[in-house]
Amino acid sequence: MRTRDFRLMVLCLLSSLVVGGASVVVQGPLPGDVVTTKTMQALLGPRPAWAEPLSRTATFPLSLVLAAAASALAVAKSGWPAAALPPVAYVSALLWNLVLRAVIHVPRPGGGVVEVAKVSSDSGLPSTFALVYGCVLGVVVAGKSREKLTGRIVDVLALGLVTIGCAARVVLGGHWPSQVISSLLLAFGISFALSLAVPRMRS
């Protein structure tokens, strides 16, 4: 199990590097980004009422509530020792976000190409939302299940929140899908690394 998870960690990190590296080189949308964004905006609307409030849950102080909720999910799935992992993952996400934004800059979607709820000159890579949600909820998913049904329910809930949240960022025009995917893959890689560092939380 630990060998499999190590391989998944490496795969996530390498995939993140490939997609993120392509974004840095191209300095714009990758193939499929524009059509995916337009399709999602056509289906969900360019500015659904739920998207902006959900986006704010990855920023302080609501991000602390997210970390606490993730700890509760981790306890439900893996027991009390797992409660410490989401806060550690949260801090890790913030540090990676700070470092990467200091060394790279990739433009966010432009209003002339797709609908953009809020124009920003900040780098679209990494996606702070995807990093925070991916790390904080990723360690929950990576944890050992004490009881099979409970573990599956927690995993579905955690991955569902990540999926809906990342969709919100794309629909609002906050990031290109490739930027979200790269950030999420990095977050999952970090999550596997953190969970592997604590053997008693692994199956």
CA gap 184, 191 in Å, rounded: 10
- Mean per-residue pLDDT, 107-124: 90
pLDDT of residue 199: 56
- Mean per-residue pLDDT, 44-72: 95
- Mean per-residue pLDDT, 90-97: 97
Confidence of residue 203 (pLDDT cuts 50, 70, 90): very low
pTM for the whole structure: 0.93
pLDDT of residue 110: 86
Compute φ and ψ for 67, nearest 5 degrees: -65, -40
Domain encompassing residue 6: 2-201
pLDDT in tens, 169-184: 999 999 999 999 999 9
Confidence of residue 23 (pLDDT cuts 50, 70, 90): very high
Number of domains in the chain: 1
CA distances from 154 to 151, 158, 171, 182 (A): 5, 6, 26, 24
